Amino acid sequence: MEGLDSMISKGKDTFWGFLGCEFISGNGQEVKIALEAKAQHTNSLGIIHGGVLTSLMDQAMGMVATAAKNVDACVTTNMNVHFVSPMKQGRLVVTAIVIHEAGRSLTTEARIHDSAGTLGCISTASFRVVNSK
């Protein structure tokens, strides 16, 4: 999808690249991204920092919202996160889907699993299509 391709190509010099995100697959219904979580992604307890996990879910949900609306940009207007299991260093996969659309607004959901299949966190978020100029 053109919007996803554009986001990924521009991403290496943005927060996406800073985190170390990897695009796996995506369309207007579902986006999957991954992160090889390393020591710099951990907090003082040795688990992956909640801000990293939240950022990953926000990124994946923004991508699926943008793809679903086939637009250049959407912005997060609200986000709720539930941390259910501590995540450790290693490969983390985020899956995001659109669960509702209404006009220029979308509601999305994301889940992060580790390589063993353990669910680490769940998030829902609302997005708004940005007016193009």
| pLDDT at residue 18, as a whole number | 78
The domain ranges of the chain are: 1-129
| pLDDT at residue 10, as a whole number | 64
Burial of 101 per CB tally in 10 Å (0-12, 13-18, 19+): middle
Residues of the chain predicted below pLDDT 50: 133
Contact 120, 95 (CB under 8 A): no
| pLDDT at residue 34, as a whole number | 97
| pLDDT at residue 14, as a whole number | 74
Q: What are residue 95's DSSP bridge partners? A: 32, 111
| pLDDT at residue 6, as a whole number | 64
Best CATH choice for the domain 1-129 from the list 3.10.129.10, 3.40.50.920, 1.10.10.200, 3.90.1300.10: 3.10.129.10
- Sheet containing strand 119-129, edge to edge, reads 21-26, 30-37, 90-102, 105-114, 119-129, 74-83
